[in-house]
Amino acid sequence: MKQAVFPGDGSVNLVDMDMPRAPDDWAVVKVEAIPLCTEYKGCFAGDTNPRIGHEAAGTVVEAGPRATVQPGDRVVMMPSLACGHCEICESGFYMHCENWHDYQAVQGTVAGIGTVCQYIARPSFLLLPIPDELSIERGGLAGCALGPTFGAMQKLNVTAFDTVLITGLGPVGLGGVVNGHFRDARVIAADPAPWRADRARTMGADHVLDPTRGDPVAEIRELTDGRGVDYAVDCSGNIHGQRFCVDATRRLGGVAFVGECHDPLAITVSEDMLRKGLHLVGNWHFNRHDYGRLLQVIEDSDLLDLLVSHTMPMTQIESAFALQQAAESAKILLNPWE
């Protein structure tokens, strides 16, 4: 089977690998849709980690003796290699499981460890059924396209009474526009890239701003009777976007951090938290028990054709990465069989 590897020079090779296996409660999935997240950043940074991609949907082709799925089942893969049995996994917030499986120890190979390939293997706990009426491509949007911002809005309890700010309109943030709309919230979206801002406007964001120009916090205050937004969801994954969320949110409001970021963010407890009473929360994907609700978004939103901007063959992954790097795409789906 074909699998993407990064040689470390900013290019992508598709190499032949052995098939992964389905021991115990694991299953092998023929991947039919690979939504791209931020893999391009690692590629261009010279990363050579074999785990490329964490989103996939497809059809089960082999199931272990204790698997909860059967060959023929259409499934969307949840990220992580969570154990599926501990207290945290049972709570539904399995992303925070401390007992992740060691893929290489189980499989004896890195074939199928990432998702930019033709077959993956996963514990069946992480394979959720796609309803018959949904295509596999649509089911795949339960990955990072919609999952992280859905989870954030569940935690913040964003409703039709609220104004929500989404910072960063890349492969995760534009899904925040979908989720905010689905809840009938007023959506303010922020990104400096013109293509992304245009797409958010087309998707019906109530206001779109460039956070690198002028005084974006003052702009937010003008839009919210001087108060600030009720909630903010940072999908930019940079400290400027994060700080903007903290400053743009009203007293007693809430901020969810969704975008990965390894740089320290300056927060002043008295000014930012005690006086403002802000609720700050990190959110990594969504609670597995809420999958049915996320499916409602996928089934009923009329914005999903806009959320997916490109469907491309896996052989054109370098072109897909170039589009992402240029910030001229929404979600891109790869087909590993073309």
In terms of CB distance, is 9 or 260 closer to Zn ion? 260
Count CA atoms closer than 13 A to 80's CA, side-chain side: 21
Name which of 285, 244, 261 is nearest 97 in CA terms: 285
The conformation of residue 18, written as its DSSP 8-state character, comes to P
CB count within 10 Å of CB 131 equals 12
Selected binder of Zn ion within 19, 86, 261, 303 (CB under 5 A): 86
Q: How far is the CB of 297 from Zn ion (least distance, A)?
A: 17
Binding mask 125-164 for Zn ion (x = CB under 5 A): -------------------x--------------------
Give the binding range for Zn ion (CB under 5 A) out of 2-10, 45-53, 89-97, 272-280: 89-97
What stretch of H or E contains 56? Answer: strand 56-63
Selected binder of Zn ion within 34, 36, 69, 89 (CB under 5 A): 89
d(CA 307, CA 38): 15
Selected binder of Zn ion within 27, 31, 34, 97 (CB under 5 A): 97
In the beta sheet, which residues pair with residue 186?
163
Q: How far is the CB of 336 from Zn ion (least distance, A)?
A: 18
In terms of CB distance, is 82 or 308 closer to Zn ion? 82
Give the binding range for Zn ion (CB under 5 A) out of 34-42, 115-123, 153-161, 177-185: 34-42
Axis crossing angle, helix 216-223 with helix 239-248, rounded to the nearest 10: 30
- One-letter identity of residue 1: M
Give the binding range for Zn ion (CB under 5 A) out of 93-101, 125-133, 233-241, 279-287: 93-101
d(CA 132, CA 125): 20
Record the tokens describing residue 177, joined without a space. Answer: 């526009």
Q: How far is the CB of 145 from Zn ion (least distance, A)?
A: 9
Give the binding range for Zn ion (CB under 5 A) out of 17-25, 36-44, 61-69, 225-233: 36-44
Q: How many Å is the Cα radius of gyration of the chain?
A: 20
Name which of 71, 125, 118, 70 is nearest 101 in CA terms: 125
d(CA 51, CA 74): 23
d(CA 318, CA 4): 11
Q: Is 333 in the site for Zn ion (CB under 5 A)?
A: no
The conformation of residue 45, written as its DSSP 8-state character, comes to T
In terms of CB distance, is 89 or 295 closer to Zn ion? 89
Give the binding range for Zn ion (CB under 5 A) out of 84-92, 226-234, 247-255, 291-299: 84-92
Selected binder of Zn ion within 4, 28, 31, 37 (CB under 5 A): 37
Give the binding range for Zn ion (CB under 5 A) out of 19-27, 76-84, 107-115, 155-163: 76-84
How many residues of this chain interact with Zn ion, rule: CB under 5 A? Answer: 8
In terms of CB distance, is 78 or 248 closer to Zn ion? 78
325 CB burial (10 A radius; 0-12, 13-18, 19+): middle
What is the binding site for Zn ion (CB under 5 A)? 37, 82-83, 86, 89, 97, 99, 144
